[in-house]
Structures are given as C-alpha cells and as structure tokens.
Amino acid sequence: MTDRNDRWSDLLRRGMRGDGAAYGAFLAEITPVLRGIVRARTGGAEDGEDIVQEVLLAVHSKRHTWREDEPVTPWLYAIARYKAADAGRRRGRQGPQVPIDDLADVLPEEAGETTAARDLAVLLDRIDDRAARIVRAVGIEGRSAGEIGVELNMSEGAVRVAYHRAMVRLKDLAETDAQTTN
C-alpha cells in the first residue's frame, strides 16, 4: 500500500467521522489526481472540469460505500472511470481515444498497481467464478453486498461470507506463490 493511499484513507476515515478539515484536505489532494485520470480517459475533452466535478460529487455522495478496511485508491479510480465513461457516452463516443503513452504520466508513483492488478487477475482466475465475481464487484468496483446478492440470488450476509472466504483464499494463494518463488 502506498503512502498516498494510506494518507487518503486516513483523511477520508477522519472526514467521515466529522473532521471537516481532514475531509477538505482529502478532497484537495485527490482533485489533481482525478483531473489527470479524467483528462487521460477523455482525451482532454472540453468538459473535463465538469467531469471532475461530477466525480467529486459522486465521491461525496457515495463515500459511505467505501469500506474503511479496503484501499481507497481503487474505489476513487473506479468512480473516476465510470464518470469519464458516462461522459463519453453522452458525447456519443465508445471510449477514450488517448494514446497509451499518455496514461503513464497520469499517476507515475502508482506504477506498481498495474503489476498488482495483473497479479490479482491471475489469482482471481484460480478461484471459482462466483467468488471471483463477488471479489471484483465488492472489492474492486465498490458495489454493495446487497446489490450483488440480488444479481446472484444470494442474501447480503451470504455475499459477505463468500467475499470474506474468497479473500482468505486469495491471500493463501498469494502466500503460497510467494513462498514458491523465494
């Protein structure tokens, strides 16, 4: 976990407990990063600043969906991606038309997350499909257990149990892989 992710998690956690200064600092620190993500995903569209504002509003209105024991950056990035995609659909585009090289400059200190995302995808392929779907939906996309339960015809509690078990299985797989490579 990065120092920035830890700091943002702490600021958001404190902000959700009523610390207005911490919440203000959180929003001030994430805004330039979100601006970069939106710019990269929309090709520098003229409405980029409007999209950033939509992202910030979504972060504010959906902050209760962030699980405090999970990293905050994937949650933030997902919101930014969805809002940029929504804006692209409104403009009638299928998606961002940005050279891949432009994305490398968006979050240079987060470059390791690309490898982590690849590693996670490999691990998710090694567990059953339903568990992998639950992990992606709850842990990566930030969706609620209730919402996933409806899709999978499961109770909210069953989704939470399945999510926890899948996370334990992923942790065990990652530890086993680490031991065999050392």
CA 152 to CA 163: how far, in whole Å?
13
CATH architecture of the region 111-182: Orthogonal Bundle (1.10)
Distance (Å) of CA 57 to CA 27, 63, 80, 126:
10, 10, 11, 37
Read off the pLDDT of each residue in 23-50 and give the average, rounded to a whole number.
84
Q: Answer whether residue 171 shows pLDDT above 60.
A: yes
Q: Name the token pair of 139.
A: 């842990």
Distance (Å) of CA 31 to CA 49, 120, 162:
10, 27, 34
Which pLDDT belongs to residue 69?
A: 84
Residues 6+ positions from 131 with CB-CB distance below 8 Å: 162, 165, 166, 169
Give the other-Cβ count within 10 Å of 120's Cβ.
18
CA 154 to CA 131: how far, in whole Å?
12
- Higher-pLDDT residue of 147 and 182 is 147
Class of domain 1-109: mainly alpha
112-124 helix and 156-181 helix, angle to the nearest 10 degrees? 110
- Give CATH 1.10.1740.10 domain extents, the chain: 1-109
Which pLDDT belongs to residue 130?
A: 92
CA 126 to CA 88: how far, in whole Å?
34
- Give CATH 1.10.10.10 domain extents, the chain: 111-182
For 106-163, the pLDDT digits (tens) are: 544 544 445 666 777 788 888 999 999 998 888 777 788 888 899 999 998 999 899 8
CA 97 to CA 84: how far, in whole Å?
12
- Residue 21, judged by CB atoms within 10 A of its CB (0-12, 13-18, 19+), counts as exposed
Give the other-Cβ count within 10 Å of 174's Cβ.
14
Among 14-18, 47-51, 177-181, the least confident range: 177-181
Read off the pLDDT of each residue in 45-54 and give the average, rounded to a whole number.
82
